[in-house]
Amino acid sequence: MTSPKKQGLLREASHQIIAGGSAGLVEILLMHPLDVVKTRFQIQRGASDPQSYKSLADCFKTIFRNEGIYGFYKGILPPILAETPKRAVKFFTFEQYKKLLSFTGLSTGLALSVAGLGSGLTEALVVNPFEVVKVSLQANRDSFKVQPSTFAQARNIINADGFGLRGLNKGLTSTLGRHGVFNMIYFGFYFNVKDAIPARQDPTLEFLRKFAIGLASGTISSCVNIPFDVAKSRIQAPQPTPGEIKYRTCFQTMGLVYQEEGFLALYKGLIPKIMRLGPGGAVMLLVYEYVSGWLNQNW
């Protein structure tokens, strides 16, 4: 017979996993088109690229004209398949790291940031293979109808390069940097600022308070971690010259992008990234908190 303590732990874990998975699914369904646009900007190599987009509006118009409305949903299946385990891992491990760090004597603010870093690194290990498939699909500019399916693309990557750091797990160090930095700021900023600003009695004002803090969390985190995101996209997308690996490791790629295209190239895709992860970050935290609260009351 299961002990009451074990039942309590299982109940807590199930609540965190369900709430985290729900948060991720809602966010990806709402925000994926902006992820496609962000990736396209990150993999183009300056104005000399013959397929370079002139502006955000030009990117939207070109994708719609050449690839149709479904072009904005290229690569959506890998994140949908990954969202439940990815966000479940994100929120569940954050809560567990936070609990462990409460015994270390760290200040609450620092413990929240360190717990966020730990959750981001753990999340990156789970999500990286899905990211490799997603980016390779998003980089494909053919019509949605003629491009490979998600599972066919995954098979192509595995058959060509295997499961390792040149295949289904390429770009892992960049993904670790991207998620670790993002979650460290995202959770640390959100929970510290939320505790510092008094809660409102009015439900609408309380919702807006949390949304505004979540929006700021997602925006600041996106601005700080985007060089890792650019490096990840360059490594995981098709290389400029077939058969030649130009972008190999995280910091080598950052250095090469800086050398060839300038400092601002490390911030390519920032606007669509903020447009996605600013409100998307707020949506995730709100869905997580409200679903978690509902589960605690009703299950």
Query: How far does the chain reach from its first CA to its final CA, in angstroms?
Result: 20
- What pTM was computed for the model? 0.82
Write out pLDDT tens, residues 165-186. Answer: 999 999 999 999 999 999 999 9
**Residue 75 contacts residue 7 (beta carbons within 8 Å):** no
Lowest mean pLDDT across 57-71, 116-130, 137-151: 137-151
How sure is the predictor about 255, in pLDDT bands with cuts at 50, 70 and 90?
very high
How sure is the predictor about 4, in pLDDT bands with cuts at 50, 70 and 90?
low
Per the prediction, the chain carries an average pLDDT of 89
Q: Which residue has the higher pLDDT, 262 or 49?
A: 262
* Continuous segment of H or E residues that includes residue 227: helix 203-236
Give the pLDDT score at 25.
Answer: 84
Q: How far apart are CA 40 and CA 237, in angstroms?
A: 10
Q: How far apart are CA 109 and CA 67, in angstroms?
A: 46
Lowest mean pLDDT across 2-16, 166-180, 189-203: 2-16
Give the pLDDT score at 146.
Answer: 77
* Continuous segment of H or E residues that includes residue 275: helix 270-298
Task: Tell how far CA 95 is from the center of its chain.
Answer: 19
Query: What domains are there in the chain, each with its CATH number?
Result: 4-290 (1.50.40.10)
What is the 8-class DSSP label of residue 139?
Answer: T
Lowest mean pLDDT across 92-106, 143-157, 185-199: 143-157
